[in-house]
Each structure stands twice: as C-alpha cells, then as structure tokens.
Copies of this chain bind each other. A is one copy, B any other.
Amino acid sequence: MDDRQLLETIRDLIGRRETSDDCAVFPIDDGKRMLVSTTDMLHETTDFPKGMTEWQMGWMSTAASLSDVASCGAQPTQILIAVGLDCAERLKPIMEGAVACAKACNAQIAGGDIDSHTELTIVTTAFGIVEKEFYCTRSGAKPGDLVCITGRPGAAQAGLDGHSGYWENLVMPKPQVFTGQRIARAGASAMMDVSDGLAISLYDMGEASDVGFVLRENNLPLLPIADAKKYFLYGGGDYGLLFTIPREKFVKMDVPVSVIGEVVEEPGVFIGEEPVEKHGYAHVWS
C-alpha cells in the first residue's frame, strides 16, 4: 500500500475535497478572500539527506508548507512549527533556518510546539490569504489550456544523487510564493507544486480536473545531465509550480516559465504519443 492508497482509506471519513488538494480552504472577509492552510511532516531518516545542516532542515521544512500555499496563488502569512527533538541543541539552528525561509517569503513564524522525540521530526503548518477570484486548486484545467512549469524539475533529485551543482536545490528549495501569485493573477486555471515529481503531479492534476496532458518533447527544460528525462519526470523534492492557463491569458504573463505542452480531453499523460509512467515519490507501506 502506498501513501495514495492509504489516503483512500480515509477519504470518505474526511471528505473527498478535503483530501484532494494540498491546502485546506476557509472563506474570510465575507467570502471575498480565502484562508488557505497546509501541514507537512518531515523527519530525519526519510526527509533530511545526510550532510544537511540543522539550518537547512528548518528552511526545507518551512519551504515545504510555503510551497503548498504558493500553489494556491496565496500570500503566506503565518507559520506554526512543531519540533520533536532528539537533542535540545538542534532547536536554535533549525528555528534560524525556518525564520530565514519565512522572511524570504514575507511570512512570519508565529508560534509552535517543542517536544522530545527519538527521531528529529519537524511539522510545519502554513497559512496564507488569497482573493477568492485568484484562488487556484488542482482542478480547473481545461482542454486547450497550456501546461507550464517554473524552474527545472529534477534538480533536487540530481542533488540527492550526487550531481554536482544541485545540492542547494535539494537542501534549500525556494518556494515560489511571489511567482505563484503572479501566475494566479494572470488567470491560471489549475496549479500545484511538483514536490512529489512532475509525472505524478500531472496525473494528480489530470484526475482532479478530469483531463489529460500531452507534453512536447522539444519543449522540456531538461537538466544537462545523463538520464535527464527520467530526472525531469520522476525526480522529487523540487518546489517548482505546475500550472495550466488559457492561451489568451498566457500572453499577458510576465513570469519566467516553460510551456511544456497542452491540456487534452483524454485522460493520461503523454510525451507526443508516448505514455508517461504514473509514478513519483511515494512511500510504500508494508
């Protein structure tokens, strides 16, 4: 059983909408704005590669939640951070990294919880606010829309696998909060981050929007490394944004993005006519 199958066992209990996007949503200001929120658990053995500093662990944990807020088109406001510590001395550099990441996104670490734990465990919860008309989710992609990404998916995985020059992509990912807001305001029809890998993110967005995707091989911003296409499709840990947008709205955008294909009616993900495998980062439960 993988994460997605496990989630399926509680979807009816929590609600399908509540379990289908990275952020929860709550209307405020008489429904004119939406409060979005998201929580992410990271811990040492699974999420923090050897060689990372505590400062980077604090940064990465905070970035994980801020990236989800960014994918809604929202401006993050506050972050809560719960830290389970195996050693008290690790707290301060972790919090310094968390504060730095929050500040870089014009957000604030507003509180948290400290606990002792056998394994270093960091859970961040981020809040953000977005005008109702610009609020983006995974559903909303329409046939004919362009499919776009920011950055170069695969870079974090390349860093993990020892490709030189990509370590920082892995340990200090930059949540695209300002770019996300510009994309949302331009009129994106759907948006999410690609932290689980681009291929699985496309499948997730396709299912949520009831559409498929055809990518153009020549338009993919591949890294200059061996197996570049594999990294591009299946590498995890990048916090770039995947979004769809009607053609006529795209022209008005002033954001550095790559148009990698278009939305089609038929479900599935293809590069030209070649189907893309449906997998990405997912823990397998024994």
The residue in chain B whose Cβ has the minimal distance to the Cβ of A129 is: B28
Q: At the interface, is chain A mostly helix, strand, loop or mixed?
A: strand
Across the interface, A39 reaches (CB within 8 A) one of B111, B119, B283, namely B111
Task: Report the bound CA distance from A6 to B3 in whole Å.
Answer: 35
Task: Report 16 cross-chain contacts, Cβ distance below 8 Å, ordered by A residue.
Answer: A6-B88, A9-B92, A10-B95, A13-B95, A14-B111, A23-B111, A24-B110, A35-B127, A37-B78, A39-B111, A40-B113, A41-B83, A43-B84, A82-B123, A116-B285, A117-B121
Interface size, chain A (Cβ < 8 Å): 60
Task: Report the bound CA distance from A82 to B110 in whole Å.
Answer: 19
Across the interface, A7 reaches (CB within 8 A) one of B14, B114, B118, namely B114
A125 close to B29 (CB less than 8 A): no
Across the interface, A110 reaches (CB within 8 A) one of B1, B18, B40, B109, namely B18
Contacting residues of chain A (89-120) with chain B, CB-CB under 8 angstroms = 91-92, 95-96, 99, 108-119
B119 close to A82 (CB less than 8 A): no
B84 close to A37 (CB less than 8 A): no
B117 close to A119 (CB less than 8 A): yes
The residue in chain B whose Cβ has the minimal distance to the Cβ of A20 is: B111
Binary flags per residue of A249-266, CB closer than 8 Å to B gives 1, else 0? 000000000000000000
CB distance from A72 to the nearest CB of B (A): 12
Contacting residues of chain A (7-25) with chain B, CB-CB under 8 angstroms = 7, 9-10, 13-14, 18-19, 21, 23-25
Closest 4 CB pairs of A and B: A24-B110, A24-B111, A123-B123, A41-B82
A285 close to B88 (CB less than 8 A): yes
Q: Is A80 an interface residue (CB 8 A)?
A: yes
A92 close to B123 (CB less than 8 A): no
Q: Is A77 an interface residue (CB 8 A)?
A: yes
Q: Most chain-B Cβ atoms within 10 A of its Cβ — which of A82, A108, A113?
A: A113
B116 close to A118 (CB less than 8 A): no
Q: Is A81 an interface residue (CB 8 A)?
A: yes
B115 close to A118 (CB less than 8 A): no
Q: Given the complex, which residues of B lie within 8 Å of A125, measured CB to CB? A: 37, 39, 80, 125
Question: A3-B114, A84-B121, A113-B123 given. 4 additional CB < 8 A pairs?
Answer: A6-B88, A9-B91, A18-B111, A127-B127
A13 close to B92 (CB less than 8 A): yes
The residue in chain B whose Cβ has the minimal distance to the Cβ of A22 is: B111
B13 close to A43 (CB less than 8 A): no
Q: Given the complex, which residues of B lie within 8 Å of A119, measured CB to CB? A: 117-119
Q: Given the complex, which residues of B lie within 8 Å of A116, measured CB to CB? A: 46, 283, 285
Task: Report the bound CA distance from A92 to B5 in whole Å.
Answer: 12
